[in-house]
Amino acid sequence: MPPLRSARRGNELDGAVAEVGPSARGVRGDVSILADLDRLFAIVRAEAGAIDVLFANAGGGEFVPLEAISEAHFDRTFQTNVKGTLFTVQKALPLMRDGGSIILTGSTAATSGTPAFSVYSASKAAIRSFARCWILDLAPRRIRVNVLVPGATSTPGWHDLAGSEESHQQMIDFVRSTTPLGRLGKAEESASAALFLASDESSFVTGSELFVDGGSAQI
pLDDT in tens, 171-207: 999 999 999 999 999 999 999 999 999 999 999 999 9
Question: Distance between CA 207 and CA 126 in Å, rounded?
Answer: 14
52-213, what's its fold? Rossmann fold (3.40.50)
Structural domain boundaries in the chain: 52-213
Per-residue model confidence (pLDDT) at position 10: 64
What is the spatial distance between Cα 24 and Cα 45, in angstroms, rounded to a whole number? Answer: 15
Q: From the candidates 41, 120, 130, 158, give the one annotated as an active-site residue.
A: 120
Residues 6+ apart with CB under 8 A from 130: 85, 86, 89, 104, 145
Nearest to 123 by CA among 189, 62, 190: 62
Enter the pTM of the model: 0.89
CB 8 within 8 Å of CB 32: no
**What does the pLDDT read at residue 17?**
72
Judge whether 23 counts as a catalytic residue: no
Q: Please give the pLDDT value at position 22.
A: 74
**pLDDT given at position 162:** 81
pLDDT digits (tens, 9 = 90+) for 145-163: 999 999 999 988 888 888 7
Strands 25-28, 4-7: pairing kind: parallel
Regions of the chain with pLDDT less than 50:
none
pLDDT for the residue 118:
98
